[in-house]
Structure 1
Amino acid sequence: MTSMSTVACKQAQVQPLMNFRGGLNMESIYHRRDKVVFVVGATGTGKSRLAIDLAVRFRGEVVNSDKIQVHKGLDTITNKVTEEECRGVTHHLLGIAAPDSEFTAVDFRRCALLAIESILARGRLPIIAGGSNSFIDALVNGGPEVRSRYDCCFFWVDVSMPVLHSFVSRRVDRMVESGLVEEVRSVYHPGADNSKGIKRAIGVSEMEQYLSSESTADDRTRAKLLEEAVESIKVNTCALARRQLEKIQSLSSNWAGDMNRIDATEVFLKEGKETDEAWARLVAGPCTILLYKFLYGQDPMAAMLSTDTSHDVTIGKLVSVSIPMIVVAATTTRV
């Protein structure tokens, strides 16, 4: 591995969403400890989307903490963010390890610390995001560096399991439409060891029986085997989501810093444009306010009101819709 922190998406030269001149004690801000943000949650809950939203608003860069996505290859089946989804935000530790290599929690901790220091050195905000909670726990509690150097803020994006299971099922169908079968076929070898590296991804072993029958079985049999394989992917992905939720619940009390649980269930019950509006109102908006408080020690609305109007005050839009402050209390829970 030639680089510990490889950029997968182009870096954007974006400005913070809010820039208050005169309304904040800037000296106190710059003498505080460095800040690091964590975004956790079960698979499919929108961790990547929230991490990118916050990175755009607060000049951040994302450090991937998914133990499968750290490997090269299988972008569809591992659900890696696309360049378009990155929205110009730099991503680290995404697709940096060889497909068949072992990348342990110790490896992640070492690489993530280097990425964090690199991000901070450039005056940007590190945002750690991914579903491998053992990686995040190794980073936070595996040594003294994080606790002694940084103030940490955690966002836990949570979705009701029945609702999430329905979403995950539909997402697997979309992945099949986007070429999941062809992607797995490209790495399939009869009798190969699927217990290492990228081949541990859900979807590889599940497709094995179907792929091994392609040259011998009739059309009806192949269709049945494919249907069974896709169903197994759905079942195993939902089981993964349950395990991840249990892991977050058991680890949340041990993670340094504030844990903010965001209930995003309502977002996943919407469709079309209403989904984006609900995301802004229930997830991105409250998290933006909470993160501003964490970074600057002040409510953004209070900072705006206390600023001398003769100064150049840039607020832009907090999110794409107006957010009453009561939304934060209604949608977030301290754990």
Structure 2
Amino acid sequence: VELNPNSTEGSSSKCQIVVIMGPTGSGKSKLAIDIAAHFPVEIINADSMQVYEGLDILTNKVPDHEQQGVPHHLLGTVSSNVEFNSKDFRDSAMLLIDELSSRDKLPVVVGGTNYYIQALVSRFLLDDQAENQQETDTLLDDPVSEELDLDRERLIGNDDFSFSRLRELDPVAANRVHPNNQRKIKQYLRLFSWFGALPSKLLGGQVVCSSEWGKIDRYDCCFICLDASLPELDDHVNRRVDLMVSSGLFKEVYGIYDPDSDYSRGLRQAIGVREFEDVLLRFWNSEKFRFSSSEMFSETMLQILNSSAESYPKRLLQEAIDRVKMNTRRLVRIQKRRINQLQSLFDWNVHYIDVTSCLSRGDSDNLWRRNVVEPAVDIIASFLTREAADTLPRDSREAKHGERDLWTRRICQACRNKELRGAHEWEQHIKGSKHRKRVSSLRRTG
């Protein structure tokens, strides 16, 4: 299969890339390696924790012996003490894609960090001036924001990161943000505090240009999403965490632990680090336990965990493991929801492949090849050999995208004046069980 060469700016032919998306545990990395037997593939990692050095077990990096000689990029290459955000990923990945395309290789971007993928394929889904918070931030019960300089913080006033404050400062920007999107609201208010200018002015019109939001403008993309039923994914996640525990998770957690470190930045954001903080604090300050190495700590924790006797340390360990499982299951739901939003709001053409049957405990190699690898190979082959980027002319696709109602403000009086934005969110709301129950209750009483 001949690949399209990397084009110059303005050319009608864009560089072709494959993007493999999906929730954690769905087999994205495995599929990327398997399709290398069919195409000249090199893999670009798009997992926000796997880019860092260390915690190979906890972040589920593909071991060298399982990579089957397929080159992997941005996998364990960033220092664990630095912050590597979406802009950093985008800039690094773009250089890699140019280099791979010049060698007639097919770039395959693989990962569950959808912010990374959005920033890479669309220049309209990342504000260069703003710090980008990663998906793991939403998993923290008490997320720690970056500290602001007192002089800059004073411009916002009393740490007020509310939607009403943004609407007061910049109505144009506020009209482009959902009132419940705290990440974006905080992002825009920080722009104001840093630069003293309105976000809508700083972003040069991107905030108000609704027809451009989500537009895939850099590359010719083939999106493949591996998906599975939530019950099967939950069971798979639970089994995978248990395997991590037996494979060296305690050793990694002990090795990265530092009571004085910031656990809201860098690799320490990874699920599985903060969850063990109570355990580590207890043993770190214990007179009874003194560990000369991470190996000794790991052996002791496994002995306590596998002991038949019930004890407070054992209960602490089990609670920490349960939190890792719970937060990973929560991440699965966040990832699935965001992929659905990319498709429903921005018309991304995502090819879904169901891997539910392949996540069972038994031998599933044949099922995986038949139900996952072969359909993916067919999708990619069709993508690489098609004559046009889509069945619709470009003008028609852009017109259709521009007509989508993404931001019209709607109020549901039945649900106590709940505010919603756009036709899609409104349609989802009125189909929801809470809205229908509320309407039914009002009809009975009215």
* TM-score bucket of the superposed structures, by smaller chain: 0.7 to 0.9
CA–CA distance in structure 2, aligned partners of residues 212 and 205 of structure 1: 11
CA–CA distance in structure 1, aligned partners of residues 316 and 361 of structure 2: 33
Contact 2:19 2:221 survives alignment (8 Å): yes
Cα 1:225–1:123, aligned 2, differ >3 Å: closer, same or farther? Answer: same
Shift of 1:34: 2.8
Residue deviations 1:81-111, cap 9 Å, x none? 1111211110111112110211111111111
Shift of 1:150: 2.9
Q: Which residue of 1 aligns with 2:234?
A: 165
Q: Which residue of 1 aligns with 2:202?
A: none
CA–CA distance in structure 2, aligned partners of residues 29 and 247 of structure 1: 30
Q: Which residue of 2 aligns with 1:193?
A: 262
Contact 1:151 1:257 survives alignment (8 Å): no
Q: Is 1:224 the equivalent of 2:205? A: no
Corresponding residue to 1:151 among 202, 215, 220: 220
Q: Which residue of 2 aligns with 1:58?
A: 39
Aligned pairs for 1:204-243 (under 5 A) are: 204-214=273-283, 215-216=286-287, 220-243=311-334
Residue deviations 1:44-78, cap 9 Å, x none? 00011111112332010010111111111111101
Q: Which residue of 1 aligns with 2:418?
A: none
CA–CA distance in structure 1, aligned partners of residues 220 and 73 of structure 2: 20
Q: Which residue of 2 aligns with 1:295?
A: 384
Structure 1 gaps, min length 5: 1-18, 20-25, 299-335
Secondary structure, in 3 states, of the residue corresponding to 1:195? coil
Deviates more, 1:249-258 or 1:108-117: 249-258
Residue deviations 1:245-273, cap 9 Å, x none? 1111111246676310111111113512x
Cα 1:280–1:191, aligned 2, differ >3 Å: closer, same or farther? Answer: same
Instruction: Count residues with an aligned counterpart.
Output: 270
CA–CA distance in structure 2, aligned partners of residues 63 and 83 of structure 1: 15
Identity of aligned residues (%): 40
Cα 1:136–1:235, aligned 2, differ >3 Å: closer, same or farther? Answer: same
Q: What amino acid is the match of 1:174?
A: L
Contact 2:17 2:222 survives alignment (8 Å): yes
Secondary structure, in 3 states, of the residue corresponding to 1:252? helix
Q: Which residue of 1 aligns with 2:61?
A: 80
Q: Which residue of 1 aligns with 2:72?
A: 91
Secondary structure, in 3 states, of the residue corresponding to 1:155? strand
Cα 1:236–1:147, aligned 2, differ >3 Å: closer, same or farther? Answer: closer
Q: With structure 2 as the length reference, what TM-score do the two structures score?
A: 0.57
Q: With structure 1 as the length reference, what TM-score do the two structures score?
A: 0.75
Contact 1:29 1:296 survives alignment (8 Å): no
Q: Which residue of 2 aligns with 1:329?
A: none
Shift of 1:191: 4.2
More contact order relative to length (CA 8 Å, sep ≥ 6): 1
Q: What amino acid is the match of 1:221?
A: Y
Secondary structure, in 3 states, of the residue corresponding to 2:276? helix
RMSD of Structure 2 on Structure 1 (CA)? 2.3
Contact 1:52 1:87 survives alignment (8 Å): yes
Residue deviations 1:94-145, cap 9 Å, x none? 112110211111111111100111111111100000010011011111259x
CA–CA distance in structure 2, aligned partners of residues 48 and 256 of structure 1: 25
Secondary structure, in 3 states, of the residue corresponding to 2:50? coil
Corresponding residue to 2:373 among 284, 289, 300: 284
Residue deviations 1:278-320, cap 9 Å, x none? 111111011111111111239xxxxxxxxxxxxxxxxxxxxxx
In our comparison, the structure showing a higher alpha carbon Rg is: 2
CA–CA distance in structure 2, aligned partners of residues 97 and 33 of structure 1: 29
Cα 1:296–1:180, aligned 2, differ >3 Å: closer, same or farther? Answer: same
Shift of 1:224: 1.3
CA–CA distance in structure 1, aligned partners of residues 365 and 98 of structure 2: 33
CA–CA distance in structure 1, aligned partners of residues 321 and 266 of structure 2: 21
Secondary structure, in 3 states, of the residue corresponding to 2:90? helix
Contact 2:18 2:223 survives alignment (8 Å): yes
Q: Is 1:258 the equivalent of 2:349? A: yes
CA–CA distance in structure 2, aligned partners of residues 182 and 96 of structure 1: 21
CA–CA distance in structure 1, aligned partners of residues 72 and 315 of structure 2: 39
CA–CA distance in structure 2, aligned partners of residues 124 and 56 of structure 1: 13
Cα 1:291–1:188, aligned 2, differ >3 Å: closer, same or farther? Answer: same
